[in-house]
Amino acid sequence: MENWLTKRARLTPNRVAVQYQDKQLTFQEVAEQAHGMAEKIAVVTENDTRVALITHNTLTGYLAIMALQQLGKTIVFINWRLSVNEINFQLSDANVNTILTDDSYTNILKVEKQLKLSELSTRKKVNPVTTFDDSFVTSIMYTSGTTGQPKGVMQTYQNHFYSAMGSALNLELRADDSWLAVVPIFHISGFSIIMRGLIYGMSVVLQRNFDAHQINELLVHQNITTISVVPVMLKQLLADLPKDVNYNKQFRAMLLGGGPTDSVTLHQAQAHHIPVIQSYGMTETASQVVALDAEYAHQKIGSVGKPLFPVRLKIADHTGKPQQQGNIWIQSPTLTIGYLNQPDKLEEQMIDGWFNTEDYGYVDSDGFLFVQGREGDMINSGGENIFPNEVEDIYADYPGISKVVVVGVPDEQWGSVPVAIVQGDNLRREDLIQFGKNRIAHYKVPKHFYLADYWHTTASGKTQRKPFLSELERLKELK
């Protein structure tokens, strides 16, 4: 395909491409400024095929992404929240010589060249690449590494294009839409918004940090039509939004990733006329591959929806044999071409063109997917399978609980039992246990409840289970 930025600047040069704070740039202005930045970056990355980038959701970071694509470089996105050791591992694994950062990043990394974008000054005349080859790896993002070291997921232009197509058909997006990007642009949920902006000719509004009140102000007073959030963001937005206030009349979709939400939250959103579209996807699939239309949000609470138009889905065991409940397998043109430096890893999860996501779930009689959790998170207690997500969803409705995570711990009698780590006010173990027994099978009710003083999350806001396991001995147990 023709260079997306070049094409878009030619098609709609005067349409607003990006907004950051009080500044707006049209697609023509983005093309011009990205070209200027590309001339500066070219001086320090002449022999680099891959360039690492650390940036917040800022205009400078957005232009750096555009510039690197104009130079035909593969962008290795780095999560600035990681420790120096974690980042150094990724830089070494990706064989990166140069890392570009925004001014806020001050740690010194083990790399040949570490440069701030604001410090680049010398220019070298360059011509933007003419075409974006479908199979070219434009981005590499490292998975969270829940098992072993994180893996570099390679994403091609084809992956991003088909992701944009599936999303457009599902959300019925238009060129006059405006998508608020507050999820990190180093994460697939944020970067995919930028790619969609180029493909659709849609405006992207960048927000550096998530602040519920600031986001609500934007959604109320500006003509923003779409936003991507994770469950914790949705809850905070609703908690901050006054009862008699709704978002602007053009607002059409709140795309929810990172897990389903609970019925209380959905009813709160409905009271404010906020269409919540729950979805399912991963770094390996270049964003969502399954989504739930807002009209089914209450009818199918807990479901993430149906596969998007380019995607096939089935439930099967580890051998690929179909079954009613089991691993979630997909076929999709958005699927990664592989993991960097680990050519066999993807094949280990593939059978006959189907990819085993290693998530566990089922599809109901109407074709809606329900994700029960990672297979590795499943707790086997006395021969019964317990999915932490199910228990967490139940306790999300408990008055006084603000956060909850469920993990399995060894037990002599049952092999393993569930326990819960919570945050909230006025919580008593006896009340919590009785609440659970009234709603779920007794063996699913956590045997112990611990009060967390810190909440472990990923960069996108997802709760991390494993760090809580190592902290149980020091956490205060509720009585």
Q: How confident is the model over 43-100, as pLDDT tens digits?
A: 999 999 999 999 999 999 999 999 999 999 999 999 998 889 889 999 999 999 999 9
Q: What pLDDT, on the 0 to 100 scale, is given for residue 201? A: 96
Handedness of CA 233, 236, 240, 241 (dihedral sign): positive
CA distances from 85 to 58, 92, 146, 147 (A): 25, 11, 17, 17
Sign of CA dihedral 127, 133, 138, 140: negative
Per-residue pLDDT of the chain (479 residues; tens, 9 = 90+): 999 999 999 999 999 999 999 999 999 999 999 999 999 999 999 999 999 999 999 999 999 999 999 999 999 999 998 889 889 999 999 999 999 999 999 999 999 999 999 999 999 999 999 999 999 999 999 986 544 578 999 999 999 999 999 999 988 888 889 999 999 999 999 999 999 999 999 999 999 999 999 999 999 999 999 999 988 899 899 999 999 999 999 999 999 987 777 778 888 999 999 999 999 999 999 999 999 987 887 788 889 999 999 999 999 999 999 999 999 999 999 999 999 999 999 999 999 999 999 999 999 999 999 998 877 788 888 877 788 888 998 898 899 999 999 999 988 888 889 999 999 999 999 999 999 999 888 889 999 999 999 998 876 667 888 889 889 989 999 98
CA-based nearest residue to 285, from 323, 257, 263: 257
Whole-number Å distance between alpha carbons of 443 and 382: 9
How long a stretch of residues is the chain? 479
Q: Which domains does the chain have, with CATH numbers?
A: 4-132 (3.40.50.980), 159-375 (3.40.50.12780), 378-477 (3.30.300.30)
pTM recorded for the entire structure: 0.86
What 3-state DSSP class applies to 459?
coil
Helices (DSSP H) in 150-262: which residue ranges? 157-171, 188-200, 212-221, 231-240
Provide the b/e sequence for 42-81 (b: ≥16 CB within 10 Å): bebbeebebbbbbbbbbbbbbbbbbbbbbbbbbbbbbbbe
Contact 269, 253 (CB under 8 A): no
> Which pLDDT value is given to residue 147?
47
Whole-number pLDDT of residue 146: 46
End-to-end Cα spacing for the chain: 63
CA-nearest of 247, 241, 289 to 265 is 241
Compute CA distances 216 → 180, 183, 235, 411, whole Å: 11, 15, 12, 46
Q: What is the pLDDT of residue 86?
A: 87
pLDDT number for residue 145? 52
pLDDT tens digits, residue range 70-86? 999 999 999 998 889 88
| 49: helix, strand or coil | coil
- CA torsion through residues 164, 166, 167, 168, sign: positive
